């Protein structure tokens, strides 16, 4: 396989895509030298047209791109690099992807698509479900059958915790909170948004690395920071879209987290009441909950 560096005066466009999520992160250029450096070091080096020199992506921010695969297109004049994006940030603005704005849709608004509504009988009762897909994840809205008739429904926005929700991990309170929310909406009517931003949006691999650091004595906040993330990397853009799509104008939000409340206060959806999501403490999640209270401001 050859790469046609001659076609555009020694430079070839390079699309960077995140391994795992397939998210498009950025477009850059490579000359032969930066290409060779990338292959040799397994860290992506571009040729910066602005700086007019070889540019190791993340050289000053630390947000380097570890090379997982490099593909060449059919006529060998465009490169696709599949990368692990360190720090979850490819864009100099702090956004994950440089393509965070939409020209067709409202500025800064992400394009979100959705499914039809279907029935979901469950051990909690009979629900309706509707799935959504944004740039990065698929999410699920779980509604009680009478949801549309309730003026101020109970709403739980639950971030994905595979270890807790599916495996029953005792390190956190996620599984219990999810059960509590599903029981409540089944009884009183309402909605659970299952928000697939795993591990406060650092993803599963990074969360397990954070757990490894916690095994070594770091707390949940310190572990995130040590891995180069903020304590909480979540955003609720998709959730706001989902709530508005389902016609929620007022809600009783089930949460202990002041950040979630702040977000929705600026979204135009009124929080009429906060319903605490307090569940059983055990010896494995005691310190985790203590840290959330002391360092993340959770109302516990």
Ligand X SMILES: Nc1nc2c(ncn2[C@@H]2O[C@H](COP(=O)(O)OP(=O)(O)OP(=O)(O)O)[C@@H](O)[C@H]2O)c(=O)[nH]1
157 known member of a binding site: yes
In the structure encoding, which two tokens stand for residue 88, read together? 């979850």
Does residue 161 interact with Zn ion by CB under 5 A? yes
d(CA 5, CA 3): 6
> Between 44 and 192, whose beta carbon lies closer to ligand X?
192
Binding mask 112-141 for Mg ion (x = CB under 5 A): ------------------------------
The item of Mg ion, ligand X, Zn ion, none sharing an interface with residue 220, based on CB under 5 to 8 Å by kind, is: ligand X
Residue 196 marked as a ligand binder: no
Segment lying near Mg ion (by CB under 5 A), choices 18-26, 171-179, 195-203, 283-291: 171-179
Exactly one of 58, 164, 189, 199 binds Zn ion (CB under 5 A); that residue is 164
Least separation in angstroms between residue 243's CB and Mg ion is 18
Pick the closer one to Zn ion by CB: 126 or 287: 287
Q: Is 203 in the site for ligand X (CB under 6 A)?
A: no
Query: In the chain, which ranges are E strands?
Result: 12-18, 24-30, 45-48, 53-56, 65-72, 79-85, 113-122, 125-133, 138-144, 154-159, 190-195, 250-254, 270-275
Looking at residues 213 to 232 of the shown chain, list those that interact with ligand X (rule: CB under 6 A).
Answer: 220, 224
DSSP code, position 220 = H
Quick one: tokens of 189? 């009517």
159 a known binding residue?
Answer: yes
Give Cβ neighbours of residue 79 (< 8 Å, ≥ 6 apart). 3, 12, 13, 14, 15, 30, 35, 70, 71, 72, 73
Interaction mask 255-284, ligand X, x per CB under 6 A = xxx--x----------------x-------
The stretch among 66-74, 83-91, 99-107, 254-262 that binds ligand X (CB under 6 A) is: 254-262
How many H-runs (helices) and E-runs (strands) does the chain carry?
8, 13
| Interactions with ligand X, residue window 132-161 (CB under 6 A) | 158-161
134 annotated as belonging to a binding site for a ligand? no
- Catalytic residue set: 232, 234
Considering only 200, 240, 248, 264, the residue that binds ligand X (CB under 6 A) is: 200
* Residue 158 assigned ligand-binding role: yes
Kindly give, in sequence order, each residue whose CB lies less than 8 Å from that of residue 130, ignoring residues fewer than 6 positions away: 114, 115, 116, 117, 118, 140, 141, 143, 246
Contact 200, 191 (CB under 8 A): no
Given ligand X, Mg ion, Zn ion, none, residue 30, with its beta carbon under 5 to 8 Å by kind, binds: none
3-class SS shares of the chain: helix, strand, coil, % to 5? 30, 30, 40
Show the tokens assigned to 2.
Answer: 């050859």
Q: Which residues are at the interface with Zn ion (CB under 5 A)?
A: 161, 164, 172, 174
């Amino acid at each position: 396989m050859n790469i046609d560096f001659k076609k555009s005066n020694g430079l070839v466009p390079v699309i960077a895509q995140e391994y795992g999520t397939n998210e498009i992160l950025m477009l850059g250029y490579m000359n032969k030298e930066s290409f060779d450096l990338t292959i040799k070091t397994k860290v992506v080096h571009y040729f910066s047209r602005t700086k007019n020199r070889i540019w190791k992506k993340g050289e000053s921010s630390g947000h380097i791109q570890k090379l997982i695969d490099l593909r060449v297109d059919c006529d060998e004049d465009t490169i696709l690099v599949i990368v692990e994006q360190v720090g979850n940030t490819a864009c100099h603005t702090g956004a994950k992807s440089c393509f965070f704005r939409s020209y067709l849709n409202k500025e800064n608004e992400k394009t979100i698509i959705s499914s039809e509504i279907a029935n979901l009988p469950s051990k909690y009762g009979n629900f309706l479900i509707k799935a959504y897909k944004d740039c990065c994840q698929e999410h699920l809205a779980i509604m009680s059958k009478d949801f549309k008739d309730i003026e101020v429904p109970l709403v739980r926005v639950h971030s994905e915790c595979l270890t807790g929700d599916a495996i029953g991990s005792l390190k956190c309170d996620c599984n219990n909170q999810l059960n509590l929310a599903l029981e409540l909406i089944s009884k009183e009517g309402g909605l659970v948004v299952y928000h697939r931003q795993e591990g406060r949006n650092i993803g599963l691999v990074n969360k397990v690395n954070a757990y490894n650091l916690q095994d070594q004595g770091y707390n949940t906040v310190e572990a995130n920071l040590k891995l180069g993330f903020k304590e909480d990397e979540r955003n609720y853009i998709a959730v706001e879209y989902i709530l508005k799509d389902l016609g929620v104008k007022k809600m009783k939000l089930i949460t202990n987290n002041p950040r979630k409340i702040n977000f929705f206060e600026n979204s135009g959806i009124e929080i009429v009441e906060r319903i605490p999501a307090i569940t059983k403490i055990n010896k494995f999640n005691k310190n985790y909950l203590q840290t959330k209270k002391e360092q993340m401001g959770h109302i516990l």
